[in-house]
């Protein structure tokens, strides 16, 4: 015949373990490089959101900075983003807390914290004051 017969390799139980070892190592590497740090980050964000209090300066997921005016319930907060402008937000959309008020000290209004109202907060030092 033109085709030579193919013979199966004889193997033992050690070959199966050798085949599974790279897959197990890949899973371990993925766990320590991807899964575990993401779980730590999610836990830190949950703790940050749970510790929100009135007067905290926060940054939202959209990049808007404001001051927490009221914590409504476990899902919502009221954030003052400019003088007289308050927005109801879902707590999970707050990405960072910039500063917390000192104990016994009243929180500064958004007009003082933003540096001159809505335009001062948006444009910072370019708020039309001749800087």
The reported pLDDT for the residue numbered 129 is: 46
Domain ranges within the chain, ordered by starting residue: 14-50, 53-125
The reported pLDDT for the residue numbered 42 is: 93
The reported pLDDT for the residue numbered 117 is: 53
- Ramachandran class of 55: left when φ > 0, alpha when ψ lies in -120 to 50, beta otherwise: left
Q: What SS3 state is found at 60?
A: strand
For tokens 């444009």, name the residue: 123
Reading the chain (131 residues) residue by residue, the pLDDT tens digits are 567 766 655 555 567 778 889 999 999 999 999 999 999 999 999 999 998 999 999 999 999 999 999 998 889 999 999 999 999 999 999 999 988 776 765 545 444 444 455 555 555 554 444 44
C-beta neighbour count of 77 within 10 angstroms: 25
Q: What SS3 state is found at 9?
A: coil
């Amino acid at each position: 015949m033109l085709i030579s017969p193919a013979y199966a390799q004889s193997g033992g139980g050690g070959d199966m373990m050798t085949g599974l070892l790279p897959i197990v190592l890949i899973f371990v590497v993925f766990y320590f490089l991807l899964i575990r740090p993401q779980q730590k980050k999610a836990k830190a964000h949950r703790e940050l959101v749970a510790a929100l209090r009135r007067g905290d300066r926060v940054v939202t997921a959209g990049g808007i900075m404001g001051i927490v005016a009221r914590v409504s319930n476990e899902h919502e907060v009221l954030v003052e983003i400019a003088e007289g402008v308050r927005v109801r937000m879902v707590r999970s959309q707050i990405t960072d807390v910039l500063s917390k008020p000192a104990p016994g000290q009243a929180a500064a209004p958004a007009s003082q914290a933003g540096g001159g109202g809505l335009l001062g907060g948006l444009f910072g030092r370019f708020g039309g004051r001749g800087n």
